[in-house]
């Protein structure tokens, strides 16, 4: 009996899921770290692996600095410059300028899809002591790439104990 | 006994693994969502976390729009322009043009490695009700960056119950 | 009893965590595959999902070729050219050159944050037979984007059996 009991009690693994909704106010970064941590605290799971996934293709996830806001400004400015609206150049030495063909949803839509592909659609994180294990300067951001406000859904799925 | 029984029955976690093979026809996108879902259905796991990983360094994974095919065309065209073949320019205001040194495997190989680094080699997804939890406009793509057809292997590893 | 016993013994899932430290020597790639595998071997978990996460915002993770070192050289050269120091141009056909505003930590810091955003902060991998499941030409790299040597911490969290 003793051996069976210990086998039963030790691997007390379970899982929890949620979908968090965020209202963005157009292009920019929403720090979702505290929202993720609040849900983790409620899940009852103290240690585990967290899969985070954004359910859209014109915004994305990224982990970056949480201190000087100019880091995010410079990051956004680089993206605006290198994945421009309407048309983009090339780095092959030519004067090539190519217009996006997918333009039905406005000039900010196609660059949003490219910016999403260049950053992250999913993150795989560690939860320890009931919260996200992050570096001291790190935050998890939802990065809105569309110009107008959107309601964005982020799925979080935690496996642990 | 009652307490032990409930502890035993609740955490009924297990895992399943597979390696899916895809024949690509050169540069472009293969929608692998249905293949992943077909395997998940056979795994017997209904809810869990899925790690997806492409076992090559000249193709990659990405999640993007599944509706207008021009989104993928524009995405591929941006990548062709900004990570060109043979040599690439710079964004430092100079006329700099640098030739790739790794060229033994053809002019499409080195840009393929860079394009892979700019997108995803792994994805961390959620499985709910026996299928991938994705947004309505999302599909999981294997993105072939080489010019010629290749056989590509994608590993999928599911932990859940 | 029989039924309970089988329920208890089958899902023998557990988890293991560690934080690995790496001394980088400035910009470049540190192959961390063997370090991850050494820790996995000690964890006692043979099969599972591994979440890898770098706890900094000016270096990143990537999986790329482990054979010809010129692949990594060309990858680094592309990144230097397209995410330059001090200021960056645009691909909108203009002569635009924008200076980074976040410059307190030196000219190599802001491009490091952008390079981190363009690659991976987290990876989701599969462990089989007590080691990382990777393609034959793949290695997991810690990519240092700062000019000077740094001590970098990588968190690894394994759930399996």
- pLDDT tens figures, C98-114: 999 999 999 999 999 99
Cβ-Cβ contacts under 8 Å, C83 against chain B: 91
DSSP state of C102: -
Q: Which 120-159 residues of chain A touch chain C by CB within 8 A?
A: 120, 122-126, 128, 133-135, 137-138, 159
pLDDT band at C6 (very low <50, low <70, confident <90, very high): very low
According to DSSP, residue B104 is labeled T
Q: Which two tokens stand for residue C161?
A: 């059996």
With contact defined as beta carbons under 8 Å apart, do C138 and C66 qualify?
yes
Report whether pLDDT(B156) > 80.
yes
E-strand spans in chain B? 14-24, 28-31, 48-54, 59-65, 87-89, 97-99, 122-128, 131-132, 138-144, 150-160
Nearest one of A152, A149, A93, A80 to A121, comparing CA atoms: A152
Query: Tell me, what's the pLDDT at A12?
Result: 82
Is residue A126 a contact partner of residue A36, using CB atoms and an 8 Å limit?
no
Cα dihedral: A76, B30, C120, A44 (round 10)? 100
The verdict on a CB contact (< 8 Å) between C53 and A124 is yes
CB pairs under 8 A between A and C: 139
Q: According to the model, what pLDDT value does residue B12 have?
A: 82
Report the residue from A65, A120, A128 with minimal CB separation from C57. Answer: A65
d(CA B81, CA A91) in angstroms, rounded, equals: 6
- Quote the minimal CA–CA distance from A149 to chain C in Å: 23
Whether the pLDDT of residue A104 is over 70: the answer is yes
pTM value is 0.94
* Contacting residues of C for A128, CB less than 8 Å apart: 17
Cβ B124–C122 below 8 Å, yes or no? yes
SS3 B88: strand
Q: Which tokens is C1 given? A: 């009893």
Inter-chain CB pairs, A–B, below 8 Å = 140
Q: What percent of chain C has pLDDT over 90?
A: 92
Helix (H) or strand (E) holding B74: helix B69-82
Read off the pLDDT of residues C21-72 as tens digits, 9 standing for 90 and up. 999 999 999 999 999 999 999 999 999 999 999 999 999 999 999 999 999 9
pLDDT of residue C66: 97
Task: With beta carbons under 8 A apart, name residues in chain B contacting C50.
Answer: 51
Q: Chain C 19-48, CB below 8 Å of chain A: which residues?
A: none
Terminal-residue alpha carbon distance, chain B: 23
ipTM attached to this prediction: 0.93
pLDDT of C12: 82
Range C31-49 burial, b when 16+ CB lie within 10 A, else e = ebbebbbebbeebebebbb
CB < 8 Å to B11, chain C = 11, 13
Of A8, A93, A159, the CB nearest to B48: A159
- State whether A11 and B8 contact (CB < 8 Å): no
Q: What pLDDT is attached to residue A5?
A: 33
Closest residue in B to A125 (Cα) is: B124
pLDDT band of B8, cuts 50, 70, 90: very low
The answer to whether the CB atoms of C78 and B81 lie below 8 A apart is no
Q: Would an 8 Å CB–CB cutoff place C117 in contact with chain B?
A: no
Using the Cβ of A14 and the Cβ atoms of chain C, whether some distance falls under 8 Å is answered with: no
pLDDT at position C10 is 46
Nearest to C134 among B55, B81, B118 (CB): B55
DSSP state letter for A129: T
Nearest residue, CB atoms, A101 vs list B13, B70, B83: B70
- Of C63, C54, B49, the C-alpha closest to A52 is B49
Q: How high does pLDDT run on average in chain C?
A: 93
Q: What is the rounded CA–CA span in Å between residue B100 and residue B83? A: 11
Beta bridge partners of B132: B127
Distance CA A13, CA C46 (A): 17
Q: What is the tens place of the pLDDT at every residue in B62-93?
A: 999 999 999 999 999 999 999 999 999 999 99
pLDDT band at B11 (very low <50, low <70, confident <90, very high): low
The verdict on a CB contact (< 8 Å) between B122 and C87 is no
List the single residue in A74, A81, A124 with the smallest CB-CB distance to C90: A81
**pLDDT band at A33, cuts 50/70/90?**
very high
Nearest-CA distance C110 → chain B (Å): 14
Instruction: Enumerate residues 56 to 115 of chain B having a beta carbon within 8 A of any beta carbon in chain C.
Output: 56-57, 81-83, 88-93, 96, 98, 100-102, 104, 110, 113-114
What does the pLDDT read at residue A1? 29
User: Residue A11's pLDDT is what?
Assistant: 61
- Do B50 and C124 form a contact (C-beta atoms < 8 A)? no
Question: Chain B partners of C120 at a C-beta cutoff of 8 Å?
Answer: 120-122
Q: Write the pLDDT tens digit of every residue in A53-80.
A: 999 999 999 999 999 999 999 999 999 9
Q: Are B144 and B152 in contact (CB under 8 A)?
A: yes
What local confidence, expressed as pLDDT, does residue A2 receive?
A: 33
Which of C124, C128, C123 has the alpha carbon at shortest distance from C48? C128
Chains touching chain A through at least 3 C-beta pairs below 8 angstroms are B, C
Q: Within a 10 A sphere around the Cβ of A8, how many other Cβ atoms?
A: 24
Rounded to 5°, angle at Cα B24 from B22 and B27: 145
């Amino acid at each position: 009996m003793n051996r069976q009991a210990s086998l039963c009690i030790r691997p007390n693994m379970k899982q929890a899921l949620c979908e968090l909704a965020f209202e963005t106010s157009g292009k920019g970064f929403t720090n979702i770290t505290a929202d993720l941590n609040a849900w983790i605290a409620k899940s009852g799971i103290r240690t585990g692996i967290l899969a985070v996934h954004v359910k859209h293709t014109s915004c994305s996830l990224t982990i970056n600095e949480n201190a000087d806001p100019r880091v995010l400004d410079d990051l956004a400015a680089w993206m605006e410059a290198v994945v421009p609206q309407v048309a983009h150049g090339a780095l092959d030495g030519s004067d090539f300028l190519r217009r996006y063909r997918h333009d039905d949803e406005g000039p900010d839509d196609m660059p949003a899809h490219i910016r999403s592909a260049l950053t992250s659609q999913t993150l795989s994180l560690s939860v320890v002591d009931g919260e996200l294990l992050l570096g001291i300067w790190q935050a998890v951001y939802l990065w809105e790439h569309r110009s107008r406000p959107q309601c964005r859904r982020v799925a979080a799925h935690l496996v642990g104990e």
